[in-house]
Amino acid sequence: MSANIRNIAIIAHVDHGKTTLVDAMLRQSGVFRDNQAITERVMDSNDLEKERGITILSKNLSIHHGGLKINIVDTPGHADFGGEVERVLKMVDSVLLLVDAFDGPMPQTRFVLKKSLDLGIKPIVVINKIDRPGARAEEVVNMVFDLFCELTTDEGQLDFPIVYASAKSGYAKRHLADESNDLEPLFEMIAERVAPPVANPDAPFQMLVSSIAYNDYLGRIATGRIANGRVKAGETIAHIDKDGKITRGRISKLLGYEGLAQIEIPDSVAGDIVSIAGFETVSIGETLASATEPVALPYLAIDQPTLSMNFMVSDSPFAGKEGKYVTSRNIRDRLTKELRTNVSLRVEDTDNTDTFKVSGRGELHLSILIENMRREGFELSVSKPEVIFQEIDGVRCEPMEYLVIDVPEEYQGTVIEKLGTRKAEMVSMQPMNGVNRLEFVIPARGLIGFRTEFLTDTRGTGVMNHTFHEYSPYKGPIAGRKNGVLISVDSGETVGYSLFNLQDRGILFLSAGTPVYEGMIVGQHAKDNDLVVNACRGKKLTNVRSSGTDDSTKCSPPTILSLEQALEYIADDELVEVTPKSIRLRKRYLDANERKKHEKKSK
């Protein structure tokens, strides 16, 4: 049976077409009925995934084609969700490495390719979007080959097969000059070049847990590939944790994949990807094994987080008005629940019982968690992201990022200058279809707050991508935000008259009629110091009024910050207050006298 199984993952940089290719493969394998309504990016099931057009969680499916059962894992493209990619690579025998025919290899392409090559996997390279204007497929193949030469230590991995495809149009071909109107050449390549799983169905049962899901009815559900042996529903098996402790339990449900659906199956054999329910303490990287001969597989280690921030109970005057879950117990329970499935996350208690230190792989990784929490009804405050330093051979080291920027030539001088002040070192510069590609190695803390500044400097035309590079010695202090903020001195609702008079002092973050409280940030000051202002003062009226004077007080539209922009923007003494309805910026200490007292202490 395992000879007819092929296990593959689809890996690529964000937006190179992984989920779209899965859509096309599902359509052409007969998973859907002819009259069935199909949504775009069917694998992006999460609301946030659909809204943002990105994959956040890796997902499994299986299709039958030409007598083969092909298990496919769709993985995220953002570096912040690299933990999702690392663990699923243990389940597969090959990967489809998608590369955009215009963009070429990008930072995350390098990251996911290195992980797969280190595991000894031989990829199939898919040059996607060959019908895109400006596509340069042959040049991109050479760039991919250079990347393989740089990353691999095994010459056998340099002989990689290439397929050219347009996932959106649903066709693939082995050579650019070929004619094709379907994905058959890709399916043929998978059948030829992906080996069946190496496993012994007659050996004692072993399975490495590669992902965890949670179901209110079934509890924890462990997913992984059966390394050896067979397993049956209702069977008693052993759970071996990372410390080697063995506990035995009964399988309450054995689940397999049929198309997109997870179905109950009576049994399964080595090489297949299955999900097992019935073990409440099982975690990613641990082993499920035969009850009579329990032998652990090598523990799966995940790269450590590089960024942390404090999640705390909101103590603002508006606390509890918009959220349903506001206490430290609510926040603790939610973070504990997240740890069950979010393998790259770390949560630690602090000296303050109302504050939790949460560490992740990047700003996006943590902001997705915060966004999910606010949608579920949570209300909390979060601090500025901080990088996690490590002591290596007695030297204080910090995380470095590999940054790739595509920018029109007229803006590149400004970008290089700004990055220079953030301790970035240029690695290469190359012209590319009207824009220049600049590559840097930069401290992770140098990127905090840079994206918004970068988009402003390039008038929205620049594109930046980055991924973790390495830990290296501390590069020295980096200047923070240059501008101060406008802080409300009073509580109430903002008034158009006051905002009209304040807009000359800087950039406003609020419109008229917005509730504010003392210590809340209402805008950015034009100068480098903080300024206390009254945004709630109305116009003093007299009984002599000239016609039309009130109509002339027209305010400029406010700058509304998204959650990611707010997290990047705040300084060390500021917080972002997150509720289901609002995102507010505030000072850590709301009272002006309290702020002065703490400023003196810090000096």
Asked if 370 and 563 touch (Cβ cutoff 8 Å), the reply is yes
Measured in whole angstroms, the distance separating CA 364 from the mean position of its chain's CA atoms is 5
Q: Is 15 annotated as a binding residue?
A: yes
Ligand-binding site membership of 19 (annotated) = yes
Cα separation, 401 vs 107, whole angstroms? 9
- Using alpha carbons, select from 496, 513, 507, 503 the residue that is nearest to residue 561: 507
What CA–CA distance (Å, rounded) separates 277 from 502? 60
525 touches 506 (CB < 8 A):
yes
Residue 466 assigned to a binding site: no
Q: Is 237 helix (H, G, I), strand (E, B) or coil?
A: strand
b/e for 130-152, b at 16 or more Cβ within 10 A?
A: bebeebbbeebbeebeebbeeeb
CA dist 182 and 101 (Å) reads 18
Q: Determine the 3-state secondary structure of 140 from DSSP.
A: helix
d(CA 330, CA 326): 7
| Number of residues in the chain | 603
Number of H helices, E strands in the chain: 14, 35
Strand partners, 488: 533
Annotated ligand binding at 131? The verdict is yes
CB atoms under 10 Å from CB of 471, counted, come to 18
CA distances for 153 relative to 48, 148, 149, 242, 529, angstroms: 38, 9, 8, 30, 54
Using an 8 Å Cβ cutoff, are 475 and 423 in contact? yes
Helix (H) or strand (E) holding 257: strand 253-258
Residues 175, 176, 181, 186: is their CA dihedral positive or negative? positive
Pair 285, 297: CB distance under 8 Å: no
Helix axes 184-193, 18-28, angle to 10 degrees: 100
Bridge-partner residues for 307, per DSSP?
A: 360, 387
How many other C-beta atoms can be found within 10 angstroms of the C-beta atom of residue 498?
21
Amino acid at 180: S
CA distances from 456 to 211, 419, 448, 460 (A): 40, 14, 15, 6
What is the per-residue burial (b if ≥16 Cβ within 10 Å, else e) of 399-434?
Answer: bbbbbbbbbeeebbebbbeebeebbbeeeeeeeeee
Residue indicated by tokens 């007229």? 410
| Residue 486 to residue 149: CA distance in whole angstroms | 53
- Binding positions for GTP are 15-20, 128-131
- Binding positions are 15-20, 128-131
